[in-house]
């Protein structure tokens, strides 16, 4: 009937590329950046990341971006900035942008730059010496949780505004959505061991896998086992830079393409993935451990009383820890010929001169 009454004439038939949402998790660990300062200062890294963000927004007019800081004692939003009210939620849209005097800069680029730099300066100024001395790690699990929450809100908002498109489904058994909002997470990490955050990081990894959200890892310093696993599980890209001075080149060449573009490119992959886990008792990364058969908790050594620390189940360890029984070795008997007690002669005898 649409062809008869001419309704197709009023329907928009133009279909552009699907918009892409990029959420950047920036590791702002003061200890790690202090060690990396002679090679790549934080200010230079921020400048390179801003250029990368501008390139992402320039690819498609509908592209979106968000930046989360993973600090030493908390995870905060750098862009979009949280509202000034007591609520800790973030604004999905910007109501009153600041006054931008530079007429030679694209307004969205200037808006993101001013907001990100102001938020970062506020975060650094509010960080006390006590906060820095209390821990040498970063709140990566909290930052990933904020990123997934923002992606969920943005996906719902996009599906509500586009009435012509079908609502996106996030189930693992559903076909991949190519018309909705394409979301991904990029982690710029400089910290080392995150064994104490093993459980929450794995929970966010499995949530991202179920939502089909790839987690890309750009490692500037240190080495983290669980971020490798997160990238491999979610089909993301993991790169450990040997030369952090080339940060911008790696960002533009490896992490700028979205999920749709990566289908036509050969993305860098990991040759070896470290699948070791962290024990639940001491948070140590172990090669061989003890696993509870009920809750699958991992222990580096049998807990006291052979009781699982998670579900209080008695662990059946069998004969583990018992001293092995010493069995005396039997002495080897010598072979005797003709009942003699001397040495055993050879079969052919010893030749003698005539």
pLDDT digits (tens, 9 = 90+) for 275-330: 888 888 887 888 888 888 888 888 888 888 888 888 888 887 776 666 666 777 77
254 lies in the same domain as 282: no
Match 């997470």 to its residue by tokens: 185
Domain presence at residue 85: yes
Beta-carbon contacts of residue 83 (< 8 Å; ≥ 6 apart): 89, 90, 91
pLDDT of residue 338 exceeding 90: no
pTM for the whole structure: 0.77
Domain presence at residue 157: yes
Rounded to whole angstroms, how far apart are CA atoms 273 and 52?
Answer: 27
218 lies in the same domain as 288: no
- 69: nearest Cα among 173, 142, 177: 142
- pLDDT band, very low/low/confident/very high, at 122 (cuts 50, 70, 90): very high
Say what the pLDDT of residue 270 is: 74
Say what the pLDDT of residue 310 is: 84
Averaged pLDDT for residues 231-257: 93
Domain presence at residue 349: no
Cβ atoms of 177 and 169 closer than 8 Å: yes
Say what the pLDDT of residue 171 is: 43
267 lies in the same domain as 301: no
Domain presence at residue 12: no
Say what the pLDDT of residue 136 is: 83
Q: What is the residue range of 311's domain?
A: 276-322
203 lies in the same domain as 267: yes
**C-alpha distances in Å from residue 199, one per residue of 52, 69, 137, 204:** 31, 20, 16, 9
Match 């189930």 to its residue by tokens: 171
Say what the pLDDT of residue 47 is: 96
Say what the pLDDT of residue 15 is: 66
CATH of the domain at 255: 3.40.50.410
Tell me what percent of the residues of the chain surpass a pLDDT of 70. Answer: 78
Of 6-20, 66-80, 120-134, highest mean pLDDT: 66-80
Domain presence at residue 11: no
Say what the pLDDT of residue 173 is: 44
Cβ atoms of 30 and 236 closer than 8 Å: no
259 lies in the same domain as 282: no
Say what the pLDDT of residue 223 is: 77
The overall average pLDDT reported for the chain is 82
Tell me what percent of the residues of the chain surpass a pLDDT of 90. Answer: 42
106 lies in the same domain as 160: yes
Q: Which residues pair with 21 in a beta bridge?
A: 64, 183
Domain presence at residue 333: no
Say what the pLDDT of residue 13 is: 47
313 lies in the same domain as 256: no
42 lies in the same domain as 188: yes
Averaged pLDDT for residues 23-35: 95
Beta-carbon contacts of residue 141 (< 8 Å; ≥ 6 apart): 194, 197, 200, 201, 204
Say what the pLDDT of residue 339 is: 57
Say what the pLDDT of residue 290 is: 84
Rounded to whole angstroms, how far apart are CA atoms 281 and 262?
Answer: 40
318 lies in the same domain as 187: no
Q: How many helices (H) and strands (E) does the chain have?
A: 10, 10
Of 40-44, 221-225, 238-242, 300-304, highest mean pLDDT: 40-44
Averaged pLDDT for residues 116-137: 90
Domain closes at, from 209, 240, 274: 274
pLDDT of residue 89 exceeding 80: no
CA torsion sign for 280, 286, 289, 293 is positive
Tokens coding 209: 């896998």
240 lies in the same domain as 284: no
Domain count, the chain: 2
- pLDDT band, very low/low/confident/very high, at 179 (cuts 50, 70, 90): low
Say what the pLDDT of residue 328 is: 76
Tokens coding 178: 């190519």
- pLDDT band, very low/low/confident/very high, at 246 (cuts 50, 70, 90): very high
Say what the pLDDT of residue 84 is: 65
Domain closes at, from 218, 240, 274: 274
Say what the pLDDT of residue 100 is: 63
Averaged pLDDT for residues 217-229: 88
- 214: nearest Cα among 148, 138, 139: 148
- pLDDT band, very low/low/confident/very high, at 174 (cuts 50, 70, 90): very low
39 lies in the same domain as 95: yes
Say what the pLDDT of residue 284 is: 81
Q: Which residue has the higher pLDDT, 189 or 87?
A: 189
Averaged pLDDT for residues 344-351: 60
Cβ atoms of 229 and 69 closer than 8 Å: no
Rounded to whole angstroms, how far apart are CA atoms 11 and 168?
Answer: 22
Say what the pLDDT of residue 316 is: 79
Say what the pLDDT of residue 292 is: 87
Tokens coding 41: 């200062």
Q: Which residue has the higher pLDDT, 302 or 183?
A: 183
58 lies in the same domain as 126: yes
């Amino acid at each position: 009937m649409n062809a008869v009454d001419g309704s197709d004439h009023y329907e928009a038939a133009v279909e552009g590329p699907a918009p892409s949402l990029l959420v950047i998790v920036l590791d702002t660990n003061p200890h790690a950046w202090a060690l990396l300062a002679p090679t790549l200062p934080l200010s230079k890294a921020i400048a390179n990341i801003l250029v990368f963000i501008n390139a992402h927004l320039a690819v498609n007019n509908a592209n979106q971006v968000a930046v989360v800081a993973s600090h030493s004692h908390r995870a905060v939003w750098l862009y979009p900035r949280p509202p000034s009210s007591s609520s800790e939620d973030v604004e999905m849209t910007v109501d009153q942008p600041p006054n931008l005097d530079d007429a030679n800069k694209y307004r969205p680029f200037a808006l993101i730059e001013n907001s990100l730099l102001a938020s970062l300066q506020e975060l650094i100024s509010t960080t006390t010496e006590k906060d820095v001395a209390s821990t040498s790690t970063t709140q990566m699990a909290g930052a990933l949780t904020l990123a997934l929450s923002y992606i969920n809100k943005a996906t719902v908002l996009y599906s509500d505004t586009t009435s012509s498109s079908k609502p996106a489904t996030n189930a693992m058994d559903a076909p991949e959505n190519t018309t909705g909002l394409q979301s991904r997470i990029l982690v710029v990490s400089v910290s080392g061991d995150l064994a104490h955050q093993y459980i929450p990081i794995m929970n966010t990894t499995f949530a991202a896998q179920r939502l089909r959200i790839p987690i890309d890892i750009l490692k500037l310093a240190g080495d983290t086992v669980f971020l490798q696993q997160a990238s491999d599980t979610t089909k993301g890209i993991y790169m450990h830079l040997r030369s952090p001075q080339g940060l911008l080149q790696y960002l533009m060449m490896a992490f700028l393409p979205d999920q749709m573009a990566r289908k036509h490119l050969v993305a860098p992959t990991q040759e070896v993935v470290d699948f070791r886990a962290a024990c639940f008792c001491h948070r140590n990364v172990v090669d061989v451990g003890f696993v509870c058969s009920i809750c699958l908790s991992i222990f580096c050594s049998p807990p006291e009383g052979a009781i699982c620390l998670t579900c209080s189940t008695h662990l059946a360890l069998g004969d583990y820890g018992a001293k092995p029984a010493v069995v005396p070795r039997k002495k080897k008997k010598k072979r005797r010929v003709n009942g003699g007690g001397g040495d055993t002669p050879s079969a052919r005898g010893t030749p003698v001169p005539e």
